[in-house]
Each structure stands twice: as C-alpha cells, then as structure tokens.
Chains A and B, each alone.
Chain A
Amino acid sequence: QSVLTQPPSVSAAPGQKVTISCSGSSSNIGNKYVYVSWYQQLPGTAPKLLIYDNNKRPSAIPVRFSGSKSGTSATLGITGLQPGDEADYYCGTWDDSLSTVVFGGGTKLTVL
C-alpha cells in the first residue's frame, strides 16, 4: 500500500488530454514546505523526471506536460496525447512524519 494514492490506470485517445491524480495527506503533499514531482517510466527503462517543484518542467520536457498541487492532492496533465506517452507515471514527495521520500503506486497510461 503506497503512501500516495494514484489510479492504477487511465486511458485516452491520441490527441486528447488526460489527468492523473496523486492523493496524499498533511504530512506529505499537504505540507506547504514540500514539493511534488512526477516521473514517466517507459517499459524496461529508468524513470524520467517530468515535473518538479509541483509545476516546473525540466528544459527537455515538452509543454504538453503540466503539474499542479492543491491541498493534499497533486495532478499531472498531459495534452495532445501521443502513442509514445504510453508508460507508467509516478508521483513522489517527502513525508515529514515518515522522514522518507514517498511515491505513488504508479498509473499506467494507455493511449487508445
């Protein structure tokens, strides 16, 4: 059981938009001093940082990817879906009560 809760799977058609939620608590996402990050993991590869500090993108990440945080939840948005976006997506942050980094269980994105 992961500390952060993500839907196991989401799906959408090419060109459409999808959102992936990440639900936590006051000791992690709800802590105003910590930030949420998002990762994309293609099959057989290492995770790749998509979003950090809740809503910032590394320079190589397309603007199609966005992040937000509100209260004890965070959301990853992907617009203009492409077949290459099919992957597992993970959220992560610091948990002050557990004194450790925590991740969501992952969401498998299918581009129909």
Chain B
Amino acid sequence: QVQLQQWGAGLLKPSETLSLTCAVYGGSFNGYYWTWIRQPPGKGLQWIGEISHGGTINYNPSLKSRVTLSVDTSKNQFSLRMTSVTAADTAFYYCARGPSDSRPYPDFFDTWGQRTLVTVSS
C-alpha cells in the first residue's frame, strides 16, 4: 500500500519561496506521474503540475512561470518549489500519485499526502 508523506515550511512572507517535499513509501516510484495539488481554505482544488520518475514535467500554465518540480529517485521523493509567493498562494498543498505515466492524461489521483497548510503573510 503506497503512502505519501509530505513536509515543508508552513509560514512564508510575501516574495519568499515555497518549498515542499513528498516521500513515497511502500510502492513503486517508477511508472507514475507524481503530482502537486493545492486548495485554498474553504475553496476548490487546483492542479499545480506533475513529474515522472524520469523527470518528464507538466505544469499548470497559470503557475508555470513560478513553479519548479524536481525528483530524487534515489530517495523516492519529489519536490515543489514556488517563487515570489503572495497571499493568493495561501492554501493546503497536497502531493498525490497520478495514473500510470503511459496514460495520455493525468486524469485521476489515487493516493494523497496528508496536506500541508502554507500561509503567506507579512
């Protein structure tokens, strides 16, 4: 049974860089797209982007200029970095497993991390 454990700084000032990491336990790291999704408190879900174990990356176009995804296959971990954060980036951030990387689209997420609240405030 695959499990995802995520961590990172929870309180940032405007213009700082958000950094989160997600570790994958109990399952294969290969063959899937690994994803970041966020949810402002009381609001809906927003897909941030995905990365495969081989380093293939797809970003949400609306966030692409500020987001970098990376992967460390030696540790079965993947990371999110978002620059120049503002209050609008305040949200619960989730890492999640997408479908097989042989599928054309990342159209479902079957395993989720426990979430991290990131608050951006001066």
**A residues near B, CB below 8 A?**
2, 33-37, 39, 46-49, 52-53, 58, 90, 92-94, 98-106
Contacts and interface: CB of A to CB of B under 8 A. Distances in A.
Given A37-B108, A52-B108, A92 B61 contact: no
Nearest to B58: A99
Interface of B: 44-47, 58, 60-62, 94, 99, 104-110, 112-115
A87 to B, nearest CB: 14
A61 to B, nearest CB: 11
Nearest to B94: A46
A106 B61 CA distance: 22
Overall SS of chain B's interface:
loop
Given A2-B44, A46-B94, A100 B107 contact: no
Nearest to A52: B108
A99 B94 contact: no
28 contacts: A33-B105, A35-B105, A36-B107, A37-B108, A39-B109, A46-B94, A46-B113, A46-B114, A47-B45, A47-B94, A48-B112, A49-B108, A49-B109, A49-B110, A90-B45, A92-B45, A92-B107, A93-B107, A94-B105, A94-B106, A98-B61, A99-B61, A100-B47, A100-B60, A100-B62, A104-B44, A105-B44, A106-B44
A76 to B, nearest CB: 13
Given A46-B114, A47-B112, A103 B104 contact: no
A105 B43 CA distance: 7
B44 A35 contact: no
